[in-house]
Amino acid sequence: MGETPTSTAPATPTVEKPSYKPAESIISAISVGFIFILFGSIYVLALPSNLFERLVAFFGSLTLRQVPGMGISLPAPVSPGTHIVFYNAVFQFCIGLILLEIAVLALRLMWDSPVKRTAETIGNLVFWSGAAFLANTFLTAQTTVNTWFAFWSGILIAVGLSMIARAAILLVRK
């Protein structure tokens, strides 16, 4: 009375999908830790200059400047070539993130991370590589308003290349 019938058929085995959460958590922890180390290292590398003062001076010097050959104004430093300490820090940050993305990519490939995450990492690597190249090329002591806006045009190109790289990986690995 009140008993439910039980099945005597063998249970069908369930195929468990591997969990990526532990690997992704490790990658996240490594990334966050590396970012803290990177910020501290860049500050120390900027010594004896005070990077914080240089950062404040850079942002304090931003004014609206007319983009050469266009009728619009966008933020640019009053004297773009005077912020070399800040520009060096930007370049060093980009190089640090390139190294981080290479390490993350190696871990993702080794741990067989989802394709979406691997594509994101490759896209990030493309972006930071482009940003480092652009910072090293355009953000120098000889930076002018023209090269300042050329740098930002290049950043837009790097964003586009990054998105194309992600899409290509997703398309190839699909």
In the chain, where the domains are located = 22-173
Q: What angle do CA 113, 114, 116 make, to 5 degrees?
A: 125
Q: Please state, in angstroms and rounded to a whole number, the distance separating the CA atoms of residues 107 and 66.
A: 45
8-state DSSP, 81 = G
Residue 96's pLDDT is 98
Instruction: Please name the residues in contact with 101: beta carbons below 8 A apart, sequence gap of 6 or more.
Output: 121, 124, 125, 128
The torsion defined by the Cα of 124, 36, 30 and 123, in degrees rounded to 10, comes to 0
In degrees rounded to 5, what are phi and psi of residue 87?
Answer: -65, -40
For CA atoms 25, 27, 28, 34, give the dihedral sign: positive
In this prediction the pTM is 0.85
State the Cα–Cα distance between residues 73 and 149, nearest whole angstrom.
Answer: 11
* Residue 1 in this model has a pLDDT that exceeds 80: no
16: pLDDT strictly greater than 60: no
Is the predicted pLDDT of residue 3 greater than 80, yes or no?
A: no
Provide, rounded to the nearest whole percent, the portion of the chain with pLDDT above 90. 84
Check pLDDT > 90 for residue 82: yes
Model pLDDT, residue 94: 98
Cβ-based burial of 57 (10 A; exposed 0-12, middle 13-18, buried ≥19):
middle
Q: Residue 12's pLDDT is what?
A: 59
Q: What is the pLDDT of residues 89-126, one digit of tens each?
A: 999 999 999 999 999 999 999 999 999 999 999 999 99
Q: Which residue has the tokens 């490594």?
A: 30
Residue 2 pLDDT: 56
Helix, strand or coil for residue 66? strand
Q: How confident is the model at residue 17 (pLDDT cuts 50, 70, 90)?
A: low
Q: Is the pLDDT of residue 7 over 90?
A: no
Tokens of 148: 């300042």
Whether pLDDT at 4 is above 70: no
Please report which residue ranges of 111-144 form alpha helices under DSSP H. 115-138
CA distance 88 to 98: 15
Measured CA to CA, the distance from residue 160 to residue 142 in angstroms comes to 27
